[in-house]
Chains A and B, each alone.
Chain A
């Protein structure tokens, strides 16, 4: 099996899987993940090492593309109306999840005589959501309406809150463990956020300034991928959030000139194979053996994270006087969890020599659950909100 053959099989099997699972009404994302599991190292082993090594590269590129596309939803003229709701829902959902998961796990840890700080970190990781899965479900079912718009904005923006929450959680945990409160962690996360905003804004501005030379469709494509890669590469090099900087770039681009929407359109017309490969690789990376190590903590995490998202979105929607559908169903759509949470798990692994591995294992195991269940819940909530055509 050579790499080209493997890549061809990934695309074709992904397509076939998605088509077949349509019959039992599973979203494409779920199909891609399942195909990934099937052709991954545990079962058929169709994925060559070369592709495995490239998967980090790939996932960063795809996250950049997704976040950039999400930026399109933040047109300033459209923002005035819904922004209050977006802020309340995203912040309350993130904080409520953090608190609920932390409290539940800490109570359990106290009961079994465990140190309590890993509970705080797990709670921080639980706040994170996964924009990629949500965006794909929205697109596949051509969901549209006020609920969908709000949802896309919430998943785009809540990465910022998740970063803050996770940083606070790690700082508190460190304080409990070593009895020193390291403000540097909080400063670092602030740096990560503001750095991302600055880099994204600068590149977005340059993008918009120089794009007068771009004429044909082919050039659009070259130009846009060049900038997305530049932004992702710079963000990685400066250790700032790839998602936030890409989203900011998209936001700046769409607001600087009306006709810039063309770039987003061109991107949408070609990105389907990228998402397919991204999710198949994510599936191939899913480690099922880890599920057995999830334990009671993992179950608590899954239950209380879901509860936190649902209740948090409810409270936020209620405070900001959002429509009733939003209040009832938006929380479920926020359940997917993926790379951002794993990233926090990796930081924990590096920060806490004693329980870091354990924290990472719990996050990785619950990610398997949420990756598979998340898209289904998102689809369910969109149906409940009445924004997917009934034929689906």
Chain B
């Protein structure tokens, strides 16, 4: 009975995830880590308890959940918040993205020169290093009910640095193409421009759409239906039009925050139901983590892991110095930027398509380092928040 097995599989994911999080709480680890570990344990590599049918839909769950997270992040960008902290957010996020990218690119170029390889993969790996993973950070913040200036800043930084990563990766692919084939091909850049404009437009349209539709809503149940419907629509359309679902959903959330008088009701109603989706999302991410790839991480991967983090910390420091942010932020915000996930993997996937020769090397490196960062990242984020005294 295939029906029974997929329903039981889902039940196992949820119940085991729940108790796993309870257990790991005792040793002061964040729930995200528990979900990922459980995913690895019940995943195909070890116990193989998750039916294929559920694995098949995991990309749907992950797009939906990322849409929810990005939409919720939009709540932090009210005009008021942007006025008071916007400058710091821009400086810090640009610097942390660029510094991480630069650090990884330079060290890898050095490494490739020493080992007589062509240097263009360094640019792509560098671009991937700019990305962070909002999902893990958001989960940690919520679980510990972190509050304060650093938390707010962190939420805004993780929301927009994925945009910088998109820009950097388009630039990197262009540069790499130029080095690799000896031709300068601006289509990637044009395409990038279209993607960003497209995501902004779609996000704004859907944000207004949600705002006006909500005028017909009478009950809380209807509000839930409409809000989830719009998030699915946003993500579905973005996927269809090859835009970034993260960016589109973020823009919609941002628009809603600023045009609706009681915008908090949208975010609150989603918060009521998303815990179970997050759990499923992270357990499924865990089942999809290719743990066996870690040994292949190699010297290159180690350099990537190390210099990405160094870049992030230096960038945060510089950005906060320039924008005159709180000292606390310059010191501890970097910890919250360690997680790396889907966005970086997206860069890796397009690299594999574009560069047949070194594409799979790039892909393996990013996948392996993602495994490391996924597991270490939430713990770092918690550490940083705690040090800053916001937990």
Binding site for B on A (CB under 8 A): 1-12, 14-15, 19, 50, 54, 56-57, 60-61, 213, 217-219, 221-223, 225-227, 229-230, 232-234, 236-237, 239, 269-270, 272-273, 276
Q: Return chain A residues, CB-CB under 8 Å to B11.
A: 226-227, 229-230, 232-233
- Asked if B363 is at the interface of the complex by the 8 Å CB criterion, the answer is no
Q: Return chain A residues, CB-CB under 8 Å to B221.
A: 269, 272-273
- CB proximity of A5 to chain B, nearest CB, Å: 3
* Size band of the interface chain B makes with A: 35 or more
B279-A222 in contact (CB<8A): yes
- Asked if B48 is at the interface of the complex by the 8 Å CB criterion, the answer is no
B272-A15 in contact (CB<8A): no
Picked from B12, B229, B237, the residue with its CB within 8 Å of the CB of A12 is: B229
The 6 A-B pairs at the shortest CB distance, nearest first, are namely A5-B236, A11-B229, A8-B232, A233-B8, A272-B221, A8-B233
Please give me the residue from chain B that is nearest to A19 by CB atom.
B216
Instruction: Give B212-228 as 1s and 0s: 1 = Cβ < 8 Å from A's Cβ atoms.
Output: 01001000111011101
Q: Return chain B residues, CB-CB under 8 Å to A213.
A: 22
Q: Return chain A residues, CB-CB under 8 Å to B14.
A: 222, 225-226, 229
Beyond A221-B272, A233-B11, A239-B1, 13 extra complex contacts between A and B, CB < 8 Å: A1-B240, A2-B236, A2-B239, A5-B233, A5-B240, A7-B232, A11-B228, A54-B57, A221-B273, A225-B276, A229-B14, A272-B222, A273-B221
Binding site for A on B (CB under 8 A): 1, 3-12, 14-15, 17-18, 22, 57, 60, 63-64, 213, 216, 220-222, 224-226, 228-237, 239-240, 272-273, 275-276, 279
Task: Tell me the complex Cα distance, A213–B23, Å.
Answer: 11
B10-A8 in contact (CB<8A): no
- CB proximity of B164 to chain A, nearest CB, Å: 26
- CB proximity of B243 to chain A, nearest CB, Å: 13
Q: Return chain A residues, CB-CB under 8 Å to B17.
A: 222
A5-B3 in contact (CB<8A): no
Picked from B64, B213, B272, the residue with its CB within 8 Å of the CB of A4 is: B64
- CB proximity of A311 to chain B, nearest CB, Å: 36
Q: Return chain B residues, CB-CB under 8 Å to A14.
A: 225
Task: Tell me the complex Cα distance, A350–B64, Å.
Answer: 39
- Given A8-B230, A269-B220, decide whether A2 and B240 contact each other with a Cβ distance below 8 A: yes
A269-B272 in contact (CB<8A): yes
Question: What are 21 contact pairs spanning A and B, CB under 8 A?
Answer: A2-B239, A4-B236, A5-B237, A8-B230, A8-B235, A50-B60, A218-B275, A221-B273, A221-B275, A223-B18, A227-B11, A229-B8, A233-B5, A233-B7, A236-B4, A236-B7, A237-B8, A239-B1, A272-B222, A273-B224, A276-B225
Please give me the residue from chain A that is nearest to B209 by CB atom.
A12
Task: Tell me the complex Cα distance, A230–B16, Å.
Answer: 11
Picked from A12, A50, A269, A276, the residue with its CB within 8 Å of the CB of B233 is: A12
Task: Tell me the complex Cα distance, A19–B222, Å.
Answer: 10
Please give me the residue from chain A that is nearest to B234 by CB atom.
A8
Q: Return chain B residues, CB-CB under 8 Å to A4.
A: 60, 63-64, 232, 235-236, 239
Q: Return chain B residues, CB-CB under 8 Å to A236.
A: 1, 3-4, 7
- CB proximity of B234 to chain A, nearest CB, Å: 8
- CB proximity of A152 to chain B, nearest CB, Å: 19
A219-B232 in contact (CB<8A): no
A6-B226 in contact (CB<8A): no
- Given A19-B216, A226-B18, A276-B225, decide whether A61 and B7 contact each other with a Cβ distance below 8 A: yes
Q: Which of A9, A54, A221, A223 has the most CB of B within 10 A?
A: A221
- Given A4-B60, A222-B14, A226-B15, decide whether A11 and B225 contact each other with a Cβ distance below 8 A: yes
Task: Tell me the complex Cα distance, A1–B239, Å.
Answer: 10
- Given A219-B275, A229-B14, decide whether A15 and B237 contact each other with a Cβ distance below 8 A: no
- CB proximity of B209 to chain A, nearest CB, Å: 9
- CB proximity of B349 to chain A, nearest CB, Å: 17
Please give me the residue from chain A that is nearest to B16 by CB atom.
A226
Task: Tell me the complex Cα distance, A295–B287, Å.
Answer: 52
B276-A232 in contact (CB<8A): no
Q: Which of A4, A10, A11, A213 has the most CB of B within 10 A?
A: A4
Q: Return chain B residues, CB-CB under 8 Å to A237.
A: 1, 4-5, 8
Picked from B4, B236, B272, the residue with its CB within 8 Å of the CB of A233 is: B4
Q: Return chain A residues, CB-CB under 8 Å to B237.
A: 5
Task: Tell me the complex Cα distance, A1–B240, Å.
Answer: 7
Task: Tell me the complex Cα distance, A2–B235, Å.
Answer: 10
Picked from B213, B216, B236, B279, the residue with its CB within 8 Å of the CB of A7 is: B236
Task: Tell me the complex Cα distance, A14–B237, Å.
Answer: 18
